[in-house]
Amino acid sequence: MTNLLTRYKQAVRKQNVYYSKGIAGELGMGGESLSSRHAWTKGSAIRKVGVLFVAICFLLYVLWGTLTVTIADSTEDILSDETVHTRLNESYLVCNEIFVDHRVFVQDHRLHDYETLTMIYFVTPTYPRREQIPELIRLSNTLLHVPRIHWILANDHYACNAYLDGLLRKIGLPFTHLASPMPESYRKKKPMPRGVANRRAAMQWLRQRNITNGILYFGDDDNTYDLRLFSEIRDTQRVSMLPVGLIEEYVSGPVVRKGKVVGFLDSWVADRRWPVDMAGFATNLAYMALYPNASMPYKPGYEEDLFLRSIRLNLNIIEPKANNCTEILVWHTQTKSHERTTLRISNKYLDDRSNLGALIRSLNEMGVAHYSDNEGQTAVISKNGKAKPISFFLS
């Protein structure tokens, strides 16, 4: 065993000596060849590093351009929504979906298809105020869905309003525009009998034209109307009634038993025989014509009661509508009123250099806001989140 190990070690020593001599020969005798190979390898490495450097520079250029655009966009929107940059745990529930159109009140017929329907004379008392035009536009978009309707708009103003007249023409409904100012003696009373002069003027207009075929309904300009209301009242024989929502504490309407009106639900009785809201009844004009002296007095809170008394109404002839007065088809909604403001803006900027002139004159015609050179609230114009004088834009 010892001899074998000794011979193995001697063989390893010989191999090491052989390889050492070979390497020394390469270094000594073949030095030129090794140097040339080393030079080639070094040049290749430099080229690779150069290509890699160019690629990195190009990548940085692209990334820097994208980053610059992102920063610019973010700085322009100072008041950006933080939720855009935050992952939100949002969820929603689909309660129901219907993709079939089941609407009943869609105007898909020609006008002559409705010629046999009874005409509804929809009387709306209104008065000049900041919210008047928006209220009437909203109401008109309801009435546009109703066939065979004539809108009597009675404005509490001493003269005809050209803007209001143009608006009614643009809407396209059959209409009568009345200027029916309240007598000055009643304007000082508290509470003021608002709307009475307008309704009286509408009834006088109907009498003067001897219109006795149709349905009379008093609809305020700020109420909310279900389209079913018009189908319900159209077949009124004498006087029909229905509940009105949001009256005083809750609702105002008839109490019905076995299809007959037996009483009234209303939070303010005040000795009224007929404690109903103006929007809670409709009258057939043929029935009203039987009482040529029918009228509405200037007595706040009692206008409905005394009008219905003037046409000799009694419980037995009242026709309950809205599914035996179990549904509300009209709501006494009210828009919050604001004082009309004056916008301070120099008249020299209201020319055709911008839209401001036409826009502000339109607001003035609608009664939303006046404008003045030296009075009122200064008009504010801004750009990039900073208020600037009008001269900055129109100099």
What is the C-alpha to C-alpha distance for residues 74 and 81, in angstroms, rounded to an integer? Answer: 11
Amino acid at residue number 176 = T
Amino acid at residue number 15 = Q
Question: Which single residue is written with the structure tokens 């040049």?
Answer: 43
Amino acid at residue number 383 = K
Q: Which helix (H) or strand (E) holds 309?
A: helix 303-310
In terms of Cβ atoms closer than 10 Å to its own Cβ (0-12, 13-18, 19+), residue 379 is: middle
Compute CA 371 distance to the chain's CA centroid, rounded to the nearest angstrom.
26
Cβ-defined contacts of 286-290 (< 8 Å, 24+) = 286/212, 286/213, 287/237, 287/238, 287/239, 287/311, 288/216, 289/212
Q: Is 351 annotated as a binding residue?
A: no
Q: Which sign does the torsion angle of CA 218, 224, 230, 232 carry?
A: negative
Which of 131, 232, 303, 304 is an active site residue? 304
Catalytic annotation present for 184: no
What is the C-alpha to C-alpha distance for residues 319 and 239, in angstroms, rounded to an integer? Answer: 6
In terms of Cβ atoms closer than 10 Å to its own Cβ (0-12, 13-18, 19+), residue 233 is: buried
The four Cα atoms 181, 186, 190, 193 give a dihedral, to 10 degrees, of -50
Nearest to 285 by CA among 333, 215, 357, 208: 215
Nearest to 223 by CA among 187, 259, 195: 195
List the binding residues: 222
Catalytic annotation, residues: 304
Residue set of the binding site for Mn(2+)? 222
